[in-house]
Structure 1
Amino acid sequence: MSAPIAEGQGLVMEFGGPTLLAPRRRPVRAVAGVDIAIRSGEALGLVGESGSGKSTLGRLLLRLAQPTAGRVTFGGRDITALSRPAMRPLRRRMQMVFQDPFGSLNPRMGIGAAVAEGMALHGLARGREARERSAALLRRVGLPPGLYDRRPDALSGGQRQRVAIARALAVEPDFVVADEPVSALDVSVGAEILALLRELREERGLALLFVSHDLHAVRSLCDRVAVLYLGRVMEEGSAEGVLRAPAHPYTRALLSASPGRPGEARGPRIVLGGEIPSPANPPSGCVFRTRCPHALPACAETVPALREIQPGRLAACIRDDVLEAVP
Structure 2
Amino acid sequence: MTAPIAEGRALVMEFGGPSLLAPRRRPVRAVAGVDIAIRRGEALGLVGESGSGKSTIGRLLLRLARPTAGQVLFDGQEITDVPRPALRPLRRRMQMVFQDPFGSLNPRMAIGTAVAEGIALHGLARGREARDRAAALLHRVGLAPGLHGRRPAALSGGQRQRVAIARALAVEPDFVVADEPVSALDVSVGAEILALLRELRSERGLALLFVSHDLHAVRSLCDRVAVLYLGRVMEEGPADAVLHAPRHPYTRALLSASPGHPGEARGPRIILRGEIPSPAAPPSGCVFRTRCPHALPACAEAVPALRAMGPDRRAACIRDEVMAA
Shorter-chain TM-score category?
Answer: over 0.9
Question: Could you tell me which residue of structure 2 aligns to residue 313 of structure 1?
Answer: 313
Change (3 A) 1:166 1:78: same
Q: Deviation digits for residues 250-304 of structure 1, max 9, x if unmatched?
A: 0000000001126978411001012211111111110000000111111111100
In the TM superposition, 1:141-180 aligns within 5 A as 141-180=141-180
Partner of 1:257 in structure 2? Answer: 257
- The alpha carbon displacement at 1:321 in A equals 2.4
Superposition pairs for residues 72-91 of structure 1, below 5 Å? 72-91=72-91
Decide whether the 8 Å contact of 2:252 with 2:266 is kept in 1.
no
The alignment status of 1:15 with 2:11, answered yes or no, reads: no
CA distance in 2, matches of 1:84, 1:306: 33
For the pair 1:212 / 2:247, whether they are aligned, the reply is no
Which 5+ residue runs of structure 2 have no aligned equivalent? none
**SS, match of residue 142 in structure 1:** coil
| Secondary structure of 1:178's aligned partner | strand
2:176·2:206 contact (CA, 8 Å) conserved in 1?
Answer: yes
Return the alpha-carbon distance in structure 2 between the equivalents of residues 198 and 35 of structure 1: 25
Identify the residue that residue 194 of structure 1 maps to in structure 2.
194
| Residues 1:163 and 1:245: Cα distance change in structure 2 (over 3 Å) | same
* Contact 1:248/1:323 (8 A) holds in 2: no
What amino acid sits opposite 1:305 in the alignment? Answer: A
> CA deviation digits over 1:109-141, x for unaligned, max 9?
000011111111111111111110000000000
Scaled by the length of structure 1, what TM-score is found? 0.97
Match of 2:277 in 1: 277
Q: Structure 1, residues 147-189: CA drift from partner, whole Å, max 9, x if none?
A: 1110000000000000000000010000000000000001110
2:59 is equivalent to residue 59 of structure 1: yes
State the secondary structure of the residue aligned to 1:10. strand
Q: Which residue of 1 aligns with 2:245?
A: 245
Rounded to whole Å, the distance in 1 between the matches of 2:232 and 2:98 is 22
Work out whether 1:112 is the aligned partner of 2:136: no
Return the alpha-carbon distance in structure 2 between the equivalents of residues 166 and 112 of structure 1: 10
**Alpha-carbon distance between aligned partners in 2 of 1:263 and 1:216, rounded to the nearest angstrom:** 9
8 Å Cα contact 1:247-1:323 kept in structure 2: no
Rounded Cα–Cα distance in structure 1 between residues aligned with 2:264 and 2:105? 40
CA distance in 1, matches of 2:27, 2:309: 33
For residue 250 of structure 1, give the secondary structure of its aligned residue in structure 2.
Answer: helix
Residue 138 of structure 1: aligned partner: 138
Once superposed, which parts of structure 1, at least 4 consecutive aligned residues long, lie more than 4 Å away? Answer: 262-266
Q: Which segment drifts farther, 45-54 or 118-127?
A: 118-127
Give the match for residue 96 of structure 1.
96
Cα distance change on mapping 1:249 and 1:24 into 2, 3 Å:
same
Give the corresponding residue for 1:3.
Answer: 3
Alpha-carbon distance change, 120 to 23 in structure 1, aligned in 2, over 3 angstroms: same
Identical amino acids, percent of aligned pairs = 86
Secondary structure of the residue aligned to 1:58 is helix
CA distance in 2, matches of 1:166, 1:121: 15
Distance 1:87 1:286, change over 3 A: same
Structure 2 CA distance for aligned equivalents of residues 265 and 70 of structure 1: 34
Tell me what 1:302 maps to. 302
Distance 1:271 1:30 in 2: 24
- Which AA in structure 2 matches 1:310? G
The letter for the 1-side match of 2:252 is R
Tell me how far 1:323 sits from its aligned partner: 5.3
Q: Which letter does structure 2 place at the counterpart of 1:283?
A: P
Tell me the distance in 1 between the aligned counterparts of 2:118 and 2:80: 24
Q: Is the counterpart of residue 46 in structure 1 residue 43 in structure 2?
A: no
* Aligned positions, number: 325
